[in-house]
Structure 1
Amino acid sequence: MEISQSWEARAAAKRADTLEKIPEGWRLSPADLARAKSQRDLTGAFIEQFLTLGEIAITTKDSIDLVNEIREKQLTAVQVTTAFCKRAAVAHQVNNCLHEIFFTRALTRAAQLDAHLATTNSPVGPLHGLPISLKDQFHVKGVDTTMGYIGWIGRNLGVTDPAQTHHIESQLTTELLSVGAVLYCKTSLPQTLLFGETKNNIIGETLNPHNQHLSCGGSSGGEGALLALGGSNLGVGTDIGGSVRIPAAFNGVFALKPTPERLSYRDVANTNPGQNTYRSTVGFLSTSLGGLELGLRAVLGTKPWVRDPAVVPIPFRGEVAGEYRRSALNFGVLWADHAVGPHPPVLRGLREVVEALRQAGHKVVDWEPPLQATAKRIHFSFLFADGAHDVHSHLTLSGEPLLPDLEGSFKLGDPIPLAEYQDLTLQGLDYERAYSDYWNSTAAADGQVVDAVIMPVAPHAAVIPGKYYHTAYTEVINLMNYSAAVIPVTKANKTVDVVDASYQPVSEVDRMNWDAYDPDIYHGAPVGVQLVARKFEEEKILAIAGVAMEALKAFRNK
Structure 2
Amino acid sequence: MKPHRKSWESLAAGKRAATLAKVPDHWRLSDSELSDAKKQRDLTGSFIRKFLTEDEIFITDQNATQIASAIQVGWLTALQVTEAFCKRAAIAHQINNCLHEIFFDQAVERAKQLDDYFSQHNKTCGPLHGVPVSLKDQFHVKGIDTTMGYVGWIGSNLGVKTPEQSHKVESQITTELLDLGAVLYCKTSLPQTLLFGETKNNIIGETLNPLNQNLSCGGSSGGEGALQALGGSILGVGTDIGGSVRIPAAFNGIFSIKPTPERISYREVANTNPGQNTYRSTVGFLSTSLDGLELIFRSVLSTEPWKRDPAVIPMPFRDQVVDDLLSRAKPNGAAKASALPLKLGVLWSDGQVGPHPPVKRGLGMVVDAMKEAGHKACYFRVLPSFTLCFWLLRTSADQAKRVHVAFLKADGAHDIHAQLDRSGEPLIPDLRNSFQLKPPIGLLEYQNFTLQGLDYEAQYSDYWNSTSAEDGQIVDAVIMPVAPHAAVIPGKFYHTDYTEAMNLLNYSVVVIPVTRADKDVDLVDESYQPLNATDKKNWDAYDPEAYHGGPVGVQIVGHKYEEEKVWAIAKVVTAALQTFGRQC
Letter in 2 for 1:212: Q
Partner of 1:382: 407
Indicate the SS of the match to 2:214.
strand
Partner of 2:77: 76
Q: Give the Cα separation in 2 of the matches to 1:448 and 1:364.
A: 11
Q: 1:530 aligns with which of 548, 555, 566?
A: 555
Contact kept? 2:189, 2:223, Cα under 8 Å: yes
SS of aligned partner of 1:73: coil
* Superposition pairs of residues 46-85 of structure 1, within 5 angstroms: 46-85=47-86
User: SS of the counterpart of 1:139?
Assistant: coil
Deviation at 1:81, TM superposition (A): 0.3
The answer to whether the aligner puts 1:127 opposite 2:128 as a matched pair is yes
What letter corresponds to residue 227 of structure 2 in structure 1? L
Q: Indicate whether 1:290 and 2:291 are aligned.
A: yes
- Between the aligned partners of 1:101 and 1:530, the Cα distance in structure 2 is 31
Which residue number in structure 2 is paired with residue 342 of structure 1? Answer: 355
| 1:147 match: secondary structure | coil
Q: Which amino acid aligns with 2:485?
A: H
- What is the one-letter code of the residue matched to 2:472? G
Are the counterparts in 1 of residues 141 and 170 from structure 2 also a CA contact under 8 Å? Answer: yes
Whether the 8 Å CA contact 2:196–2:219 is kept in 1: the answer is yes
Aligned match of 1:13: 14
The C-alpha deviation readout for 1:1-25, integer Å capped at 9, x for no partner, is 9871000100000000001000000
Corresponding residue for residue 365 of structure 1:
389
2:490 equivalent in structure 1: 465
For the residues of structure 2 that align with 1:398 and 1:38, how far apart are their CA atoms? 34
Tell me which of 462, 466, 469 is aligned to 1:444: 469
Residue 495 of structure 1 is matched in structure 2 by 520
- Residue 107 of structure 1: how far off its partner (Å): 0.4
Residue 314 of structure 2 aligns to a residue whose secondary structure is: coil
Query: Secondary structure at 2:581's aligned position in 1?
Result: helix
Q: Which residue of the partner structure matches residue 331 of structure 2?
A: none
Matches within 5 A, 1:539-554: 539-554=564-579
Stretches of structure 2 lacking an aligned partner (at least 5 in a row):
329-334, 336-340, 375-385
Q: What code does the residue aligned with 2:349 have?
A: A
**Is the contact made by 1:341 and 1:459 (CA closer than 8 Å) also made in structure 2?**
yes
Shift of the alpha carbon at 1:157?
3.7
Give SS of 2:262's match. Answer: helix
Deviates more, 1:367-376 or 1:171-180: 367-376
Q: Which whole-Å deviations, capped at 9, do the CAs of 1:253-293 have from their partners, x for residues lacking one?
A: 00000001100000000000000100000000000000000
Q: Superposition RMSD on alpha carbons, in Å?
A: 1.0
Where in structure 2 are the equivalents of 1:475-490 lying within 5 Å?
475-490=500-515
Which residue does the alignment assign to 1:36?
Answer: 37
Is 1:148–1:200's contact at 8 Å kept on the other side of the alignment? yes
- Cα shift at 1:318: 1.2
Query: Which residue identity does 2:223 align to in structure 1?
Result: G
SS of the residue 1:356 aligns to? helix
What count of residue pairs does the alignment treat as equivalent?
A: 558
Cα distance in 2, alignment partners of residues 357 and 321 from structure 1: 19
Q: How many Å separate the matches in 1 of 2:504 and 2:461?
A: 12
Partner Cα distance (2:267, 2:361) in 1: 40
Aligned to 2:380: none
Runs of 4+ aligned residues of structure 1 deviating over 3 Å after TM superposition are none
What amino acid maps onto 2:258 in structure 1?
K
Q: Is the aligned partner of 1:424 residue 2:440?
A: no
How far did residue 323 of structure 1 move? 1.3
2:30 corresponds to which letter in structure 1?
A: S
Normalization by structure 2: what TM-score?
Answer: 0.95
- How far the C-alpha of 1:537 sits from its partner, in A, is 0.5
Q: Distance in 2 between matches of 1:133 and 1:2?
A: 38
**Match of 2:554, SS?**
strand
Amino acid at match of 1:341: G
Whole-angstrom distance in 1 between the partners of 2:513 and 2:71:
28
- Superposition pairs of residues 51-450 of structure 1, within 5 angstroms: 51-325=52-326, 326=328, 327=335, 328-361=341-374, 362-369=386-393, 370-450=395-475
Unmatched tracts of structure 1, length 5 or more: none
Letter in 2 for 1:335: W
Q: Give TM-score scaled by structure 1 length.
A: 0.99
Letter in 1 for 2:496: T
The DSSP-based 3-state class of the residue aligned with 2:215 is: strand
Deviation at 1:161, TM superposition (A): 1.7
Instruction: Find the residue that maps to 1:264 and give its secondary structure.
Output: coil
In 2 relative to 1, CA 248–2 (structure 1 residues): closer, same or farther, beyond 3 Å?
A: farther
Report the identity percentage. Answer: 67
Query: Counterparts of 1:363 and 1:210 in 2: how far apart (Å)?
Result: 35
CA distance in 1, matches of 2:569, 2:247: 19
Deviation at 1:159, TM superposition (A): 4.4
Structure 2 CA distance for partners of 1:150 and 1:2, relative to 1, 3 Å? farther
Any conservation in 1 of the 2:317–2:564 contact (CA below 8 Å)?
A: yes
Task: Name the CA distance, whole Å, in 2 between partners of 1:3 and 1:76.
Answer: 49
Q: Tell me if the contact between 1:159 and 1:165 (Cα under 8 Å) persists in the aligned partners.
A: no
Shift of 1:100: 0.1
The one-letter amino acid of 2:492's match is K
CA shift, 1:367, in A, is 1.4
Amino acid in structure 1 at the alignment position of 2:152: G
Distance 2:514 2:93 in 1: 26
